[in-house]
Chain A
């Protein structure tokens, strides 16, 4: 889960601006694994394996939702947010930098085995895009929209669809806190009626639609639909660039565990949120990019060994997302493992006296199989 970047801090690498201000004692020959380059736009292969710092205010602004739970705990314990620069993220950033925004949006699917760092790669890309001033539409986990929904309302807009007011309002709140200025700039292009009395006129800022959705929870789902529609229609004009970042995109084309009142199962297209998001993921708009992640961990009715796009998306999902650019995320390379291990030692996370020895390090590498999540779980009690 934790992306760790490692950088050899030697005096010979004068070209790199990697100076760590940590209190590394001079007599220890340990290498330091940080980089002071906190702008993802400037990350290159030289920074591969290093950890870069995201200031805590920026974390709160850019990631109101979307960071993995264990990473959030780690931020609280260490008092800093360090993300590793890894090769899949660098590849994605290179594609985004070189993409032509006049062309239809390209879809990228980040896939890999469990715990290899797909969500963290997505967060790295989201951080880059928000630094560049893109409008980021970040859905932290699409699986939350297809399971454990306490309230399902029949949609007032279309008779056979179902609304999810709670999930929609939570997402609207987080969307509002991360994209304040865009909500004032983008104007609606037609009049929307919320029930019999309330309406939003043409030309009003999108912030009003969001306020409407937050104030009246019953119409939150429709507010989400309106927001997505407006943003998609206006993205080709070029006044802003749009990034659609969806984590766990295989939820949109799988099955749900929700049931209607007559106990018949709900399929994903009957949910308004899922329907609107699927429209967003089609590549019929230009002026941005779509970056998605597959996830087996929260998925429903999928075997735990499934990780490839074909297995997790199924035929329907694969056809809907086809053509896409697949980006595999592997386990840690030896260099990245060194870096992560060094970071833990430096922040005093590995307290066991044997963890500082070579034997302990070899044992950690063997037991975790260089898998980031396993390493994190193993290093917890040590």
Chain B
């Protein structure tokens, strides 16, 4: 991948197509725009567009567009949380396997809940949630810790200091705990979809080892309240 030539400094920001096309993770020229995948934005007729949208459309006609990453999808069924979770489950780049495991997990959750639904008496049927995506999101939300611990060294000793967490970090920790719990603390011969669906259903009901781990973390943070002033950010 050759870097674009620096000759023609005056025309740097104008659109030009180099002989060798840049790949997604290399440095794009700032003139490149992000791709738009939502089908709704292309289906609007010209009259309904506002001024800014018209300008944006004209800009897109003259500027080059970055390559769309493979994880960006225009499907109505795509969900960024599910994609993130699938990526975290992936090993050695085997996205096909990770994605099939994820879809088998969602199907397993749906089957278990539907069986419960059909066996339940009429008045309890509304309380049973059968949508695997709702269960997945709720389970992840229940697993997210509110406060975390970070190691700060003062005077030679390392203290565990309670520290607020960003949203990204909370989501990451929830997903990481779920996956590690399934990989390590279960019987060797159980399949991943089975283990994961069981864990997700437990987390949805605020039970299970992952919720326990979250509570343990909260207790530790509460116990180490005294060191909270060590934090300087």
* One of B8-16, B63-71, B110-118 at the interface: B110-118
Separation in Å of the A82 CB from the closest CB of chain B? 14
Inter-chain contact B132/A351, CB cutoff 8 Å: yes
Q: Return the contact of A351 from the options B102, B104, B133 (Cβ within 8 A).
A: B133
> How far is A345 from B106 in the complex, measured between Cα atoms in Å?
17
Inter-chain contact A355/B77, CB cutoff 8 Å: yes
Known contacts A351-B130, A352-B77, A355-B77; is A381 also within 8 Å of B114 by CB? Answer: no
Which residues in A have their C-beta under 8 angstroms from that of B106?
380-382
Q: Return the contact of B133 from the options A76, A79, A349, A352 (Cβ within 8 A).
A: A352
B61 within 8 A of A: no
Main secondary structure of the interface of B (DSSP, over half): helix
Q: How many residues of A contact B (CB 8 A)?
A: 19
B131 within 8 A of A: yes
* One of A184-192, A330-338, A356-364 at the interface: A356-364
A73 within 8 A of B: yes
> How far is A363 from B78 in the complex, measured between Cα atoms in Å?
12
Inter-chain contact B107/A380, CB cutoff 8 Å: yes
Inter-chain contact B77/A354, CB cutoff 8 Å: yes
Inter-chain contact B132/A363, CB cutoff 8 Å: no
Q: Return the contact of B77 from the options A76, A77, A349, A363 (Cβ within 8 A).
A: A363
Q: Return the contact of B130 from the options A348, A360, A380 (Cβ within 8 A).
A: A348
B103 within 8 A of A: yes
Inter-chain contact A348/B133, CB cutoff 8 Å: no
> How far is A73 from B75 in the complex, measured between Cα atoms in Å?
27
| Contact-residue bracket for chain B | 10 to 19
Which residues in A have their C-beta under 8 angstroms from that of B103?
380-381
B76 within 8 A of A: yes
Interface residues of B in 53-101 (CB under 8 A from A): 75-77
Chain B residue with the shortest CB-CB distance to A379: B107
> How far is A355 from B130 in the complex, measured between Cα atoms in Å?
14
Inter-chain contact B77/A360, CB cutoff 8 Å: yes
Which residues in A have their C-beta under 8 angstroms from that of B133?
351-352
Identify the A interface with B (CB < 8 A). Answer: 73, 76-79, 348-349, 351-355, 357, 359-360, 363, 380-382
Identify the B interface with A (CB < 8 A). Answer: 39, 75-77, 102-104, 106-107, 110-111, 114-115, 117-118, 130-133
Closest 9 A/B residue pairs (Cβ): A381-B103, A381-B106, A380-B107, A351-B131, A354-B76, A359-B76, A381-B107, A77-B111, A360-B76
Please list 24 pairs of residues, one from A and one from B, whose beta carbons are closer than 8 Å in the complex, sorted by A's number: A77-B111, A77-B114, A78-B114, A78-B118, A348-B117, A351-B110, A351-B130, A351-B133, A353-B131, A354-B77, A357-B76, A359-B76, A360-B77, A363-B75, A363-B77, A380-B104, A380-B107, A380-B110, A381-B104, A381-B106, A381-B110, A381-B132, A382-B77, A382-B106
Other A-B pairs, 6, CB within 8 Å; known A79-B118, A352-B131: A77-B115, A351-B132, A352-B77, A360-B77, A381-B106, A382-B77
